[in-house]
Structure 1
Amino acid sequence: MSAAAKIMAGRESVRVAVVQTPPVFLDLERSIDKACRKIAEAAAGGASLVVFSESWLAGYPYWDEGWNSNSHAWVAVRSRFFDNALLIPSAQSQRLCEAAAQSGVTVVIGCNELDARPGVHTLYNTMLTIGDDGRIMGKHRKLRPTFVESAFWGQGAGDDLYVHETAVGRVGGLICGEHVMTLARARMISQGEDFHIALYPGAFNVWSGPKMQVEDPDGSHFIGYASCRAHANEAGAFVICAVGLIDEASIPADFPMRDSLNISYARGGSMVIAPAGVPLVGPMYGDTIVYADCPARMIKLSKAIIDTNGHYGRPDVLSLRYHPEERA
Structure 2
Amino acid sequence: MRICIVQKKNVFLNTQASLQILQENLTEALSKGARIIVFPETWLPGYPVWIDAAARAGLWREKGAMQLYRILCEQALTVNDPLWCALQQQVNESQAMLFLGIHEQLGNSLMNSMVIIAAGLERPLFHRKLTPTYTERLVWGSGDGSTLHSVETDQGRVGGLICWEHWLPALRAFYHAQHEVVHVAQWPTVHDLHQLASRHYAFEGQTFVLASGGLLSQADALAGFDSLGQKMPQARALLESMESEDSWLLRGGSAVIQPDTQYVVPPCFKEEALLFADLDLGLCKEGRMYLDVDGHYSRPDIFQIQVNQRPQTNVRADSDL
| TM surpasses 0.5 | yes
Cα drift, residue 269 of structure 1: 0.7
Cα distance in 1 between the residues matched to 2:184 and 2:29? 17
Over the matched positions of the two proteins, sequence identity in percent amounts to 31
Cα distance in 1 between the residues matched to 2:155 and 2:102? 22
Cα distance in 2 between the residues matched to 1:269 and 1:280? 13
Cα distance in 2 between the residues matched to 1:196 and 1:323? 22
Of 195, 198, 207, the residue aligned with 1:225 is 195
Report the equivalent of 2:103: 112
Q: Equivalent residue of 1:177, what SS?
A: helix
Report the equivalent of 2:240: 259
Cα drift, residue 124 of structure 1: 0.3
Q: Equivalent residue of 2:92, what SS?
A: helix
Return 5+ residue gaps in structure 2 as ranges. Answer: 52-56, 227-234, 313-320
Identify if the C-alpha distance between structure 1 residues 232 and 183 changes in structure 2 by more than 3 Å, giving closer, same or farther. same
Contact 1:52 1:242 in 2 (8 A): yes
Identify if the C-alpha distance between structure 1 residues 121 and 325 changes in structure 2 by more than 3 Å, giving closer, same or farther. closer
Identify if the C-alpha distance between structure 1 residues 294 and 307 changes in structure 2 by more than 3 Å, giving closer, same or farther. same
Contact 2:88 2:124 in 1 (8 A): no
Q: Equivalent residue of 1:140, what SS?
A: strand
Return 5+ residue gaps in structure 1 as ranges. Answer: 1-13, 205-221
Alignment of 1:41-190 (within 5 A): 41-64=28-51, 65-67=57-59, 70-71=62-63, 73-115=64-106, 120-133=107-120, 135-190=122-177
RMSD: 2.2
TM-score using structure 2 length: 0.84
Cα distance in 1 between the residues matched to 2:27 and 2:94? 6
Q: Equivalent residue of 2:180, what SS?
A: coil
Identify if the C-alpha distance between structure 1 residues 150 and 50 changes in structure 2 by more than 3 Å, giving closer, same or farther. same
Cα distance in 2 between the residues matched to 1:314 and 1:289? 41
Higher mean alpha-carbon deviation, 156-165 vs 227-236, is at 156-165
Cα distance in 1 between the residues matched to 2:62 and 2:173? 42
Identify if the C-alpha distance between structure 1 residues 202 and 43 changes in structure 2 by more than 3 Å, giving closer, same or farther. same
Structure 1 stretches of 4+ with a deviation exceeding 6 A read: 325-328
Identify if the C-alpha distance between structure 1 residues 228 and 16 changes in structure 2 by more than 3 Å, giving closer, same or farther. same
Cα drift, residue 279 of structure 1: 1.5
Report the equivalent of 2:220: 250
Cα drift, residue 326 of structure 1: 12
Report the equivalent of 2:14: 27
Cα drift, residue 240 of structure 1: 0.6
